[in-house]
Structure 1
Amino acid sequence: MSTFVYDGDCAFCTSCAEFIERRIPTGARVVPWQFAELDRLGLTEAECEEAVQWVGSDGSRAAGPDAIAALLASSGRGWRIAGAGLRIPPVRAAAWPAYRWVARNRHRMPGGTAACSLPQETRDRLYGPSAG
């Protein structure tokens, strides 16, 4: 079974995962990394803290917007089209900076809380220095 792994300590991430479970028909398991068998999935905590992760039933792996595209590709027709759109090179190139911006600011997103915010040093290490 394919697995989509997110940060269960982040309210924004959890809200997004709940949206996936309610609205996106996928056979993938959607699980917070804190409760996932990371060794079995071949993932590390550091990878999971950096971005959402996808581990396909075929062993394929993806992170960040590529993981989201893989999840969507495993879903119903309309969602598969959105996933294919996310894989178009110019869209994919724009998706990564957008994903990093959201990750850096997830505590400010709808459903986010101060607990979603990584320490500044960690944010800088993972996503580069913030502009403001």
Structure 2
Amino acid sequence: MRTQPLLVYDGDCGFSTTSVAFAQKWIRPRCEITAWQWARLDALGVTRRRAEYEALWVTPDGTVHGGAQAVAKLLSSARGAWGVVGALLQLAPVRWLAHGIYRAVADNRHRLPGGTPACALPATRRPGTP
């Protein structure tokens, strides 16, 4: 049984991998971190489709936060100013703004610095598509 939260990210995406490396070096969150490609998603109660769609923060009790809220939880787990930023990102209306920004970044991560074609999800693999 895990005693720390777990951040699950897309290990095939250069932008996501670079972002996680930045977080580990500069933010130093108190959590475990793994690529969804190496995680036992079924044991975490997460589908592959969701893991491909957004970063996930899984608490030790199994609660899953996705997207901007996963980032907010990661920041909140850090000490100092990062924790304050994380707390602010969880408050409305900042939370709503953060969600929009997260979606814009996630949907275009293959176009961002460090992004690769592997970062782009085919439209058929995005949640909400038949």
TM range (shorter): 0.7 to 0.9
* Residue 121 (structure 1) shift: 4.0
5+ long unaligned stretches in structure 1: none
Q: Does 1:86 align with 2:97?
A: no
Alignment of 1:1-132 (within 5 A): 1-122=4-125, 125-126=126-127
SS of 2:57's equivalent? strand
Displacement of 1:48: 0.4
For 2:92, give the aligned amino acid. Answer: P
Q: Alpha-carbon deviations, 1:3-44, whole Å to 9, x = none?
A: 000011111011101111111122201110000121221111
Alignment length (residue pairs): 126
Using the size of structure 1 for normalisation, the TM-score is 0.87
User: What's the Cα RMSD here?
Assistant: 1.7
C-alpha separation between the residues in 1 aligned to 2:34 and 2:58? 11
5+ residue gaps, structure 2: none
Q: By how many angstroms is 1:58 displaced?
A: 3.4
Give deviations 1:29-74, integer Å, cap 9, x for gaps: 1110000121221111011011100011233320000011111111
The one-letter amino acid of 1:20's match is A
Query: How far apart, in 2, do the equivalents of 1:83 and 1:114 lie?
Result: 30
Which has more helix, going by share of residues? 1
SS in 2 for 1:31: strand
State the TM-score, normalizing by the size of structure 2. 0.88
Helix, strand or coil at the partner of 1:4 = strand
